[in-house]
Structure 1
């Protein structure tokens, strides 16, 4: 997929940093020389407890390596400022924050890539939420890539 998009040093990759698809995408794009903006809904030490460390393996080390890369920047979601923001999931707010940043480059330049089985139920802030938000904003969305390799 990245080959088809010609992802490389002229690109900005944006992701959330969770174990699995987020970190794999980050590593691949950094390996292609792209710049990476990592958006976290919580301070890194809190984020890794909920979204990285639960999976064991070497995800924590990979998360730290991505954050330490010379082409990577980390942003932490600001505290909710309005009642509407306080009612929203921090993950949903983080998705919309990433999308806002990406759309600043032009909707036609936003290509949404995710590992997702295409099923609903992942809730606000999940892959389905982001897929629909990108689509509604005019970004490019393809068919979801199922974690086991098939598309739906």
Structure 2
């Protein structure tokens, strides 16, 4: 780990683990070990330090794998949720299995959490909560890290199941000239 430079901000976005009834696989559960290793290796390649900051959401799958890895390194995690914790767990965690709910609780208890509905002025009528959360995470990353922000993403290179997914985050970071480190899930 590097201890001689200023803080770097690791921004993260990635696919959720597939629901049991998902028609076309994107992140099947059997890929979990390979995705966890790829995230770990990508963070290793960045020469991180405990003074760095990680920003992510907390959905089952790659968000939680990223959170577990950075927390194990002593990196502070700032977790953004688009809804109340209970609603977020219902929509983005518990559909996978009870293990993910427990893992979410573990990382959430060790993270600084930001819930969009609890932040004054953070909701607009008709605005997609997932896109809003992506923008909030990116804005925070830029305010904390300046030019030293890196987006790590676990992505299949395609649009998601709705607005505000990994594609949205990748496109937004690239449009702002940010660094994107893409873990292509199709190659794992």
TM-score range, shorter chain: 0.7 to 0.9
Q: What is the CA distance between 1:8 and its match in structure 2? A: 2.8
- What is the TM-score of this pair, normalised by structure 2? 0.71
What is the rounded CA distance, in whole Å, between the counterparts of 1:138 and 1:56 in structure 2?
37
Matched, 1:24 2:65: yes
Q: Which has the higher contact order (CA 8 A, sep 6+)?
A: 2
- What is the TM-score of this pair, normalised by structure 1? 0.87
Matched, 1:116 2:165: no
Query: CA offsets per residue over residues 41-64 of structure 1, 9 Å max, x none?
Result: 011111000000011151000000
What is the rounded CA distance, in whole Å, between the counterparts of 1:149 and 1:38 in structure 2?
28
Aligned to 1:146: 184
Aligned to 1:131: 170
Backbone CA RMSD of aligned residues? 2.0
What is the rounded CA distance, in whole Å, between the counterparts of 2:82 and 2:113 in structure 1?
11
What is the rounded CA distance, in whole Å, between the counterparts of 1:131 and 1:141 in structure 2?
7
Q: What is the CA distance between 1:146 and its match in structure 2? A: 2.5
Secondary structure at the residue paired with 1:88?
A: coil
Aligned to 1:85: 124
Corresponding residue to 1:34 among 52, 71, 75: 75
Name the structure with the higher strand share.
2
Unaligned runs of 5+ in 2: 1-41
Secondary structure at the residue paired with 2:153?
A: coil
Q: Which moved more, 1:132-141 or 1:33-42?
A: 132-141
Unaligned runs of 5+ in 1: none
Question: Alignment length, in residue pairs?
Answer: 146
